[in-house]
Amino acid sequence: MNPTRCLLSTLALAAVCLGTQANADHHEEAEAMTLQSLATGDHRSDDNIARNTWRHPVETLEFFGLEADTTVIEILPSTGWYTEIIAPYVRDQGKYYAAHFSPNAALDYMPRIRGLFEEKISGDPENYGRITVRSLNPPHEVIIAPPESADMALTFRNVHNWIMAGQEHEFFAAFFAALKPGGTLGVVEHRARPGASMEVMETTGYVTEAYVKEVAAAAGFEFVESSEINANARDDTDHPEGVWSLPPTYRMGEANRADFTAIGESDRMTLKFIKPRS
């Protein structure tokens, strides 16, 4: 055999083997990147992992239908508790948008929280390097992704803040505009007792399921189903400082802290909506 041809054949075979191994390594990495492994991963703090007990992130994201190839918008992710799970999960096959507080927001804490979020993602490019951060500040900044481009928009414990600001309809309209027809809106929110008044919802942090469904319907969404994944029967929702009496906030400091710890985090609704296809 021609020595040159032999050498070329050997090199070609080596290249194929290396390519095959690289593909296998990538496949193994993808297989290992499960919601469960991310929820308890080394990139998360012990405190954040401990809250899995109350927030059930794996079950919640599975209920909403999150897949690795999803284009997902997380609405106002604060310092990134859920980002730690969602962003790495969709990093390679999907897309993660963070619709965060605007640097131009009127309240001082909002740019500060966004700064903490940006510091977090810039410090871990392996997990967060492909995140796109957009500003959400109705009515001035509402384009949180290209129109009708996202498969899913998710919001965790935010609706009460929009009610308190009188902007809940503007926020839901922004989600509707960003989602594809057939796209999913997932809502987790502190749950008020049925029939609770607007005054309760404007002051305690608890919101009725009926009102969330009403606001979503007004934006054009159709309700799909609910889950009791994040229910907490120990929470009667009647606390001196509203939902903020409970962990992790403990607004009352040491007063009745043991009682609030025994209750745990709030009773929460978990609701799935869809943007109609026509």
Q: If you count them, how many residues does the chain have? A: 278
DSSP strand pairing (95-100 vs 71-75): parallel
pLDDT tens digit string along 81-104? 999 999 999 999 999 999 999 999
- Per-residue pLDDT of 98-133, as tens digits, reads 999 999 998 999 999 999 999 999 999 999 999 999
Starting at the earlier edge strand, list the strands of the sheet with 268-274: 132-135, 95-100, 71-75, 150-156, 179-190, 268-274, 222-227
Assign residue 78 a region (left: φ > 0; alpha: ψ between -120 and 50; beta: otherwise): left
Residue 278 is predicted with a pLDDT of 81
What would the two tokens of residue 112 be?
């500060």
Q: What is the DSSP letter of 245?
A: G
Average pLDDT value over all residues in the chain? 92
Tracing tokens 């929009």 back to the chain, one arrives at 162
| Residue range 23-50, pLDDT digits in tens | 444 444 444 589 999 999 999 999 999 9
pLDDT band at 7 (very low <50, low <70, confident <90, very high): very low
Q: Which one is predicted more confidently, 69 or 31?
A: 69
Cis-peptide, bond into residue 248, ω within 30° of zero:
yes
CA distances from 93 to 82, 88, 210 (A): 18, 10, 36
Mean pLDDT of 45-73: 98
Two tokens at 50?
């401990």
The residue ranking higher by pLDDT, 2 or 4, is: 2
* Range name among 25-39, 201-215, 243-257 with the lowest pLDDT average: 25-39
Give the span between the Cα atoms of 181 and 153, in whole angstroms. Answer: 12
Q: What is the percent of the chain with per-residue pLDDT over 70, rounded to a whole number? A: 88
Residue 231: CB atoms within 10 Å: 15
Q: Report CA 144 to chain centroid distance, whole Å.
A: 14
pLDDT of residue 17: 47
Above pLDDT 90, what percent of the chain? 87
